Amino acid sequence: MSAAPAIEATDVSRTYQLDGVSVPALRGVSLTVAPGDYVALVGPSGSGKSTLMHLLGGLDRPTGGRLAIGGREVSSLSAAELAALRNRTIGFVFQAFHLLPRTSAVENVALPLVYRGVGARQRRERAAAMLDRVGLGHRLNHRPNQLSGGEQQRVAIARALVTDPAVLLADEPTGNLDSATGAAVLELLERLNAASGVALVLVTHDHEVAARARRRIAMRDGVVAADSAAPAGERHADAPAAAERPVELHDRPASGGADRPDTLVPAPSAEPRSASGSGPGHPPGGSGGATGATGRLPRPADDRGAAS
């Protein structure tokens, strides 16, 4: 018997009210994310993919249709229940890292466990073990400004996974990284997907990044234009084909010369930004962001003022 879906959306719609005008962002989206799936969600700005990611992560609720996360219908949950479900089920990785700047790597990773009521000693042990798993066991006490961009993103990945979620939502996770470091981060995500069985949903504008996924969903005008999991006759003609490529396993510093120590190179700003990497956004906490515990959500940047 097949496992229950990690996330299941049926005819989901989302409409925003902007200055008294109804703006539809999603117009009836149906999809299922199975345990262990590896999905790339692609589409131009305004296509609705960021709105869909927020819904799939329980950061927002649909206007219509049915959305179940971990087998629970989100419309029936209170704000506190939905926040608790996110913390147990979903891990978030954002383009801008969202690490607390004056907090060590191990404390950043341990933060979601605070909302679980896990004791301080166990939090540190679990966070240290997860950092070791992503190759940063030697960076436990380093602050974000002492880490390269790729190392900061690996800390963010460790934080997202420390709660053992069923689904990892990664929104443009390589957007602040050079191509070689970005490729190494993608390979890390793919190894974790294969080894732990966590479903990986990758939101990206980059079709080369999307081509690495086993399944690709293309969004356009608030609907699913193509889904490579659909039967061949239902696939859109423009759906990208999968491609295999070798990945170099090294992590370049975020800036500075190649001869500078990796742990002393200033990295890109880790100040809170939106999930899409610009504008006001989510400070860290919960399961990959404060939204993991508080349920507060700024409207997705690519859905303001225009139909997605």
| Whether the model pTM is above 0.85 | no
Beta strands in 110-166 (DSSP E): none
User: Is the domain 35-48+79-231+264-294 a CATH 3.30.70.20 member?
Assistant: no
Task: Report which secondary-structure segment, H or E, holds 26.
Answer: strand 21-33
Residue 112 near residue 159, CB atoms below 8 Å: yes
What distance in Å separates the CA atoms of residue 77 and residue 239, rounded to the nearest whole number? 36
What distance in Å separates the CA atoms of residue 108 and residue 280, rounded to the nearest whole number? 20
Shortest CA distance to 25 belongs to which of 223, 218, 216, 172?
223
Mean pLDDT by 10 residues, the chain (308 residues): 83 92 93 95 90 93 95 93 92 91 95 90 95 93 94 94 94 89 92 92 90 94 86 40 34 35 31 34 41 39 42
pLDDT at 223: 94
- Looking only at the bridges linking them, the beta strands covering 64-69 and 7-18 are antiparallel
Token pair of 128 as six digits: 């240290």
What are the beta bridge partners of residue 32? 8
What are the beta bridge partners of residue 218? 42, 226
pLDDT at 151: 93
What distance in Å separates the CA atoms of residue 176 and residue 96, rounded to the nearest whole number? 7
pLDDT at 74: 94
